Structure formats: structure tokens, C-alpha cells
Structure 1
């Protein structure tokens, strides 16, 4: 990397952005932007030329596609490192390999890598019973999200699978964060968000379960039973299924007037035990 060129940073958890220092350097040409976004999603992985061509042209590539791709790569390299001069294999970030390319990035250069590492650290803290540390890691991870992932590339349709995968990772982190809130006795503060999630993602039974727990923690047990009835209707109408063992066990526990929070994480053990005895 030539003197004066700052390393680029990539953001995919929102609109796709590439910055160098305080300046944006995201390619404006659609295929160059899509190429770089694809490589960023697979940072430090070899991506075959054939896969890139299929991605950029949706399997309707012209005969000139490979030659055009070489041109896009050259342009992207100049965007990433304006003063770079050298062979195609010597670029500090976008390297040519036999029949493909690799975008070489340090963890701090890509928001997705940072998000996943923070999520992993938060999950490890949860496993150790350190809810305070887990909350801290999850909070920092969520701050990296700026909206729908790859929002400006969504309409191309070529990133549908990637977007769905990223949105699932986001929901899983939200689920873990709500577990931490319940662990800390802050379920009352999660009720509104969980009600929205139960409506927008009705097949995620864990959100329904967490909502019931949060309502119990807010001393709204009757509302918790109503939430179960609503979950039953949503699952039945949208998927043709009944609530699973964990959710049914939670419902029974509330009906019995038992307290799922008499000890930290006790509800997890109770639900697991009850889940084994409830027929599917």
C-alpha cells in the first residue's frame, strides 16, 4: 500500500459503504459496487470467477463477461487504493488467485466480522453466567447495524440469500439480548419490542416465549396467557402448526401459578424438564 493511502473499511449492515479515512469511496457503477459487496461478504475467502460472473449477471452472462470482470476489478482496486501501482497479485486488499479473487481484510475493516465476533463473545459470556458482560457485547454489536443489510442492493435480487442470512443472525442476537434482559430482571422494558417481533416474525416461537416471561416479570400474568393464545392463533393460521413443547410448557407453568424467576435462569431448566414430558 502506497504512503498516504489509508486502509478501506467496509460496512454491509445497512447500505453498502466503503470508506477510507473520513471519505466515502464506494463504487458508483452498479456492477462494481455489487462485485465489491460480494467479496466483502466473503472476506478472506477465495471466490471463483465463475461464481462472481453468475452473481453479477444472474446466470445470463454475455461472452465478454470475464473480460468485463477483469476491468471491474482493476477499477475497484484503484478505488480502494488510489496510489497503488503494481501487479494484480500485489494489491494490498484485492488479490488475484487462479480462477478467482480474495478480498483480504483485517477484522476491524469489516462491520460484519466485528458483529459476529461480538456476538460470539456475548454468547460465551452468557454460557458463563456473566449477564453484564453479555449485555455489553450484544449492545455494541447491535450498534453496528444501520438498517436493513445491503439496503441499496436489495432490489437487484442477487443478494436475497445473503440478506436473509444476515437478518437471521440479527434476530438471533436480539433473542440472546432479551434472554440477558430477563436474566437481569428487566423484562418489563422488553415487552413492547417483543410484541412487535412476535407480530413481524410469528414463527419464531422463542420470541413468544420471551414475551410471556417478560409479561410475568412485569406482573402481567393474565396478559402472558393472552400472548400465548395469540401465539397459538398465529402459528396455526400461518404455518398450520401448534406451539412447540417449550412454549406449551411455559403456558402450563403460568397457568399453575408458578414463578419462573425464583432463581436466575431457573425458567430455562423448568422449561427443558417440562418440554421432555409434553407430547409434541
Structure 2
């Protein structure tokens, strides 16, 4: 049963949720929920009052915004620690600083912190050639992803930049996981997912490259060439550009009948897998 002493848990990788002792205690008031979500995205960082006001009121704040914010902070503190009485500056979770606030959380209290830590561990394992550990870390990170981040706050428009950044981190993690699958010789298992990603994210050249490699691994070289032609068309239609040098080089290897998955190529991918693939700007 939840008590006021249970540390709150925060989840932003999906609908925004706050729980305590396994029970939901997410604020229902829109501005309070948005305030807490904003501070959770910047856990353990100082967030100026001016930034909070700008984001919560979309830069069209009333004169009473700062006073209203103080009221929201007081209400949110009651939600976070209902049985605790504390001064405005010494609250154990939501602390006041000169001209701003800090949400103080341990790593285990925020899904985003755990997600990023697992992704980093997986990237380190992949760079070290330990594909099994990398796979374990990437899969553990992806299990924390419950859907569109801050899904219930999308309509406010206040979190568009944050949502786009989180979705990019998610796609990078997917790309890393597919690299591990290719390294393990399991590319044939990734073909369907990669085909969908190439359609929904046509400017991510890394996914087109991985799809071509996966098709080659599945002994479908003709389909890999067709995938390149489709990538060329998508990039041209959506951004008015041609495929980058990595994609063109891979295409040429397949045309020449060479093995794009030879040891040298796999080593190159393993040592550069943590770096972002070329992504065209819309």
C-alpha cells in the first residue's frame, strides 16, 4: 500500500505517469501535470522560472503566471509527498532555487534515466564486440518504451521539441539493436520491421542501409537492389537529395556481386555503430 514515504516514480516514455508505492498519483490539473513533466525531463537540473512560464503558457503568459506557478508547485509537492510538511526551499523532491526549481530524483525513479543508461551500456558493449551483452542492454531499454513519449501532453504543443528529441533517441536505439542482429547473422528476422521503418522514416538512411544488409543476409540480393531504388525515390521525393556515400557504396557492392557482410564491413559497422547514421533534413 502506498504511503507518503514511498519515493515517487516518473514515466515519460509513453503517457506521463507518476506513481507512489505502485499506485498512480499523476496530477489531473493540466498545468500541474505539464509542470511536473517538464521538470522530470530535466531531472536534477536547475530549470529557471522564466523557462517554465514560457513553456507552460507558450510564451503568451498572463501577468499572474509566476504567482500561479507558485500555486502549482505547492499543489504538486502535496502529490509527491502527501504526508510530509516541509519549507518551500527544503522539499526532498521538488526544491526551490533562486529564480527556479530542481526535481531531485535517483536514477531508478525516472524511466528516461534508465533508458539512457541502458542504451549507453549497450553502445559500449557493441563497440567492445560483445554483441550478446549489447543485445541484452538494448532490449532492456526498449522494454521501458511504452509508446509515444508524453502522449497525453502532445496536444498542448509545449513539448514538441522534447518529444522529437526523445523519438530520435528511440530510433537511434532501434538502429543499434538492428546492428547487433546483423552482427549475429539474424538480419532475416529484421526485414519486416526495417521495411516499416523505411516507410515511416524515409529520411533515415541508416534504416535503408540496414534493410539492404538484412535482405542480403536473407539471400535476397535482388530485393536489396529494389530496396535501394525505393530509398533513392523516397529521398528524392521527400528531401530532393540522392542517397549518401555509405548507401551508394553498399549498392555498388551488391551490384558487383561482392559480400557486403564480410569481416571488414562488419568491423566497420561495429566500431561506428554508436554514431548517428546520416539523416536527411526534411
Give the TM-score of the pair, scaled to structure 1. Answer: 0.93
Structure 1 partner of 2:223: 223
1:186 maps onto 2:186 in alignment: yes
Alpha-carbon distance between aligned partners in 2 of 1:258 and 1:249, rounded to the nearest angstrom: 11
Instruction: Name the SS for the 1:174 alignment partner.
Output: helix
Alignment of 1:197-216 (within 5 A): 197-216=197-216
Are the counterparts in 1 of residues 45 and 102 from structure 2 also a CA contact under 8 Å?
yes
Q: CA deviation at 1:260?
A: 2.1
Structure 2 partner of 1:155: 155
Q: CA deviation at 1:216?
A: 0.2
CA RMSD, aligned part only? 1.3
Alpha-carbon distance between aligned partners in 2 of 1:237 and 1:68, rounded to the nearest angstrom: 48
Q: CA deviation at 1:267?
A: 6.7
Alpha-carbon distance between aligned partners in 1 of 2:266 and 2:110, rounded to the nearest angstrom: 38
Alpha-carbon distance between aligned partners in 2 of 1:232 and 1:63, rounded to the nearest angstrom: 52
Give the TM-score of the pair, scaled to structure 2. Answer: 0.93
Structure 2 partner of 1:17: 17
What do residues 34-62 of structure 1 show as CA deviations (whole Å, max 9, x unaligned)? 00000000000000011111111111111
Alignment of 1:25-40 (within 5 A): 25-40=25-40
What do residues 87-114 of structure 1 show as CA deviations (whole Å, max 9, x unaligned)? 1111110000000000000000000000
Structure 2 gaps of 5+ residues are 273-282
Q: Which has the higher contact order (CA 8 A, sep 6+)?
A: 2
Alignment of 1:34-113 (within 5 A): 34-113=34-113
Q: CA deviation at 1:266?
A: 3.3
Q: CA deviation at 1:210?
A: 0.3
Are the counterparts in 2 of residues 183 and 265 from structure 1 also a CA contact under 8 Å?
no
Q: CA 1:68 to 1:31, structure 2 compared with 1: closer, same or farther past 3 Å?
A: same
Give aligned pairs, total.
Answer: 268
